Amino acid sequence: MPARVIDGAAIARGITEELRVRVARFAAAAGRPPTLGIVLVGEQPSSLIYVRNKNRTADALGIKAEVIRVPASSSIDEVLGLVDRLNQSSAHDAILVQAPLPDTIAAGTERVFERIDPAKDVDGFHPVNVGRLVQNRATLVPCTPAGIIEMLEREGVRMRGARAVVIGRSGIVGKPIALLLLHRDATVTICHSKTPDVPRIAASADILVAAIGRAAFVTPDFVKPGAVVVDVGINRVTDAGAVGRLFGAQSPRLEEFGRRGAVIVGDVHPDVADVAGAMTPVPGGVGPLTIAMLMKNTVTAAERRWRGGT
Ligand code: GUN
Question: CB–CB of 63/34 below 8 Å?
Answer: yes
Is residue 173 in contact with ligand 1, taking CB distance under 6 Å?
Answer: no
Q: Is 129 in the pocket of ligand 1 (CB under 6 A)?
A: no
Burial 13-34 (b: 16+ CB within 10 A, else e): eebbeebeebbeebbeebeebb
What whole-number distance in Å separates Cα of residue 229 and Cα of residue 297?
A: 25
Q: Per-residue pLDDT for 185 more than 90?
A: yes
Task: Report residue 274's pLDDT band, with 50, 70 and 90 as the boundaries.
Answer: very high
Count H helices and E strands in the chain, helices first. 11, 11
CB distance 242 to ligand 1 below 6 Å: no
With a 6 A CB cut-off, is 98 part of the ligand 1 pocket?
Answer: yes
* Residues known to be catalytic: 54, 98, 123
Note the pLDDT of residue 309: 54
310 pLDDT above the threshold of 70: no
Which of 170, 296, 181 lies closest to 234, judged by CA? 170
Cα 6 to averaged position of ligand 1 atoms, centre (Å) = 23
Are 133 and 179 in contact, with CB atoms under 8 Å apart? yes
Give dist(CA 225, CA 56) in Å, integer: 39
User: Which whole number is the average pLDDT over 283-301?
Assistant: 97
- In the chain, residues under CATH classification 3.40.50.720 are 143-287
Interval between CA 106 and ligand 1 midpoint (Å): 14
pLDDT of 301: 98
Å from CA of 99 to ligand 1 middle:
5
Classify domain 31-117 by CATH number: 3.40.50.10860
- Measured CA to CA in angstroms, residue 188 lies from 124, 134, 213, 266, 291 at distances of 21, 14, 20, 22, 26
State which H helix or E strand residue 96 sits in.
strand 94-97
pLDDT of residue 128: 98
Q: How many Å lie between the centroid of ligand 1 and the Cα of residue 191?
A: 22
Find the mean pLDDT for residues 123-130: 98
C-alpha 19, offset from chain centre: 18
Pocket test for ligand 1, best of 38, 44, 98 (most atoms within 8 A of CB): 98
Percent over 70 (pLDDT), the chain: 99
- Distance in angstroms (rounded) separating the CA atoms of residues 269 and 172: 22
- SS3 label, residue 25: helix
List the CATH code of the domain at 143-287.
3.40.50.720
Interval 67-111: pLDDT, tens: 999 999 999 999 999 999 999 999 999 999 999 999 999 999 999
Q: Does residue 99 have its Cβ closer than 6 Å to ligand 1?
A: yes
Give the model's confidence band at 285: pLDDT under 50 very low, under 70 low, under 90 confident, else very high.
Answer: very high
Looking at this protein, which amino acid is placed at residue 179? L
Q: What is the percentage of the chain residues whose pLDDT exceeds 90?
A: 95
Ligand 1 contact via 143 beta carbon (within 6 Å) = yes
Q: Which atom of ligand 1 is nearest to the CA of 142?
A: 6
Q: What is the mean pLDDT of the chain?
A: 96
pLDDT tens digit sequence for 36-77: 999 999 999 999 999 999 999 999 999 999 999 999 999 999
Instruction: Kindly report whether the peptide bond that precedes residue 127 is cis, defined as omega within 30 degrees of 0.
Output: no
251: CB partners within 8 A, 6+ apart = 243, 244
Q: What is the pLDDT of residue 1?
A: 79
Q: Is the pTM of this model over 0.85?
A: yes
The pLDDT tens digits for 131-181 are: 999 999 999 999 999 999 999 999 999 999 999 999 999 999 999 999 999
Query: What element of type H or E holds 231?
Result: strand 228-231
Give the pLDDT mean for 201-227. Answer: 98
What pLDDT was estimated at residue 308? 86
pLDDT value, residue 284: 96
- 99 CA closest ligand 1 atom index: 10
Domain with CATH 3.40.50.10860 in the chain: 31-117
Going from the C-alpha of 245 to that of each of 61, 96, 270, the distances in angstroms are 40, 38, 10
Q: How far is the CA of 51 from the centre of ligand 1 (A)?
A: 9
- Note the pLDDT of residue 280: 98
Nearest CA to ligand 1 atom 9: 98
Q: Does ligand 1 have an atom closer than 6 angstroms to the CB of 96?
A: yes
Question: In this predicted structure, what is the pLDDT of residue 250?
Answer: 87
